[in-house]
Structure 1
Amino acid sequence: MELLNDMALFVEVVKARSFRGAAATLDMPNSTLSRRISLLEKEIGLRLLNRTTRRVELTEAGQLYFERCKRIVDEARLAHEQLGEMLARPSGLLRVSLPVDFANTYLAPLITEFAQHYPGIDFEFDLTPRRVDLVSEPYDLAIRIGESAASHMIARPLARLHGNLYASPRYLELNGEPREPADLARHQCLCQTRVSTWTLHNGTQTVEAEIAGRFHLNSIGMLRRLATLDMGIAFTPQEIVADEVASGRLRRILPQWQGLPMTIYAVTETRLLPAKTQRFIEFLRERLSRG
């Protein structure tokens, strides 16, 4: 990198035909510029410039070196300009692994908005339950909920979700409404697989509420649907059931109690991200932080 910088300094000296003029253009001390060019000549082993008190002239070796250097410096400058354009207008194919139900119910409108902002980006989404391998598979990032990434991955927090309790008005009419967490043991709770308690807190107190139910499942979408069909109580973030609550198909119960926060992460294999990935992560963080 230092050699490329010195090549760029040499090109400016030749274009200005003087160290003083080039130093003014580069906004650096004349003595520093002269020393850098002298070190460059020493490293190459040939004199590149004949210096006089008023101007500099290229030697034969200097002329050849200048022609090569100018092309290299121009290409490097063009590369920087093109990268700047990419940052301003990201483009390319963005590959993302997403949680199935969270993507369908909550992220889809945000992704639509992002796509409208950046028409140069195409998308490939993996919405299967599996955890993609960001090292061996060609994905730019994965969105994950509730658990951080392995130590060799980079996990960027996007937002925090709290689980709340919801049931349909018809279910509550038939079965009564719980008044405290202990009442959940006598209700049909729509349980995620291998879960027998729900951790709830009300700001000052935390309890492990025993739960029971006929349905055990690993799909938030199915859990939400069963709740609207009067089959039991769902424990899920409000973002997942916002439409059902707004329409009156579900109602929050035990409103003073909520689950411990779950963090949403954007997981990548490296910190060095292309503009399309950076913009997507920044966009999700900003939108999700609004709640």
Structure 2
Amino acid sequence: MDRKLVSVIVSLVAVLAFFLLIVWIGGLINPSLQLDETGVLRFAFVGLGLLIVFVVYLLTRQSKIWEVGTREVVYMAIGAALYAVLSFLFNGTVFAVPSVSQVALRPAVAIPMFFGYAFGPAVGLFTGAVGNMFGDALTGFGLSPQWSVGNGLIGMVAGLALLFKEQKKGINTVLWISLALALIVTAIFFLNRTAPNMMFFDPENNIFGDATISIFAGLSIVIGFLLVLLVRFVFGKNIDVASAVTWSLLGNFIGIGFAALSDIWINGYPPAVAIVGEFIPAAGPNAIFAAILVPLLVGAYASVQRQTGR
């Protein structure tokens, strides 16, 4: 059997295995981490997310970006650990965003974006998925495996940047796709502005219930896109920065979109509520963080490479 195929399958199985271990061990340690009756459905979407990754691999298997060796395994472990710890630090309700579920400002999302772009889609997938799952377990609020897979998709898509031999062509294609998605989502927001987005009511934790998201939050998808567009042209001569931030934006839209839309079936949300109440509050700030933090990480990594001669 092809070595690359085996390594990708092992990576996907490893993600699933870590998920099951976290659910099992976490549930024994903290009852709030036990899955409810939707657990099977949540893992069905985990399987769907991993299947999507495998299909993408099959369609692009000729590319070297899918190679997984000892180096990539080490980066998987480092990336997942970093993302877990940083996610834990930013998951508290002090950073909560009005939404229909537990959504927080998470600058740490730049970690799977960067690791995916720098070390390949398999590394990005593992970093985002396993790191987010561990981070949720450490926080103790509860586990949402389908959202962790969504985080994995963020890193995976960011790692697809090198599929294009002409990276500038790939960047432009991704920008057009991202623009279309941003405009569609923003239109849905304006058509559903009165829908309540905060279903929690817990004054002790500064959650006050039924507050619609602000116009700024609603436009955060467009704001994030414009910031990424600005970075793309400001760093036009630095193809690595331009490519990393652009593909990270698309990964954010796809990964968070997958997670939010899964809650149409898991939590019974109407599509508009899933988009306005979950996708926008999560993906909007993520896009802004991508535009600001991913260039810093790519620049720092390039500096290290120059100093070490790699």
Q: TM-score range by the shorter chain?
A: under 0.3
Going by fraction, where is strand more abundant, 1 or 2? 1
Q: If each structure's helix is expressed as a fraction of its own residues, which one has the higher value?
A: 2
Higher gyration radius (CA): 1
- Give the TM-score taking structure 1 as reference length: 0.23
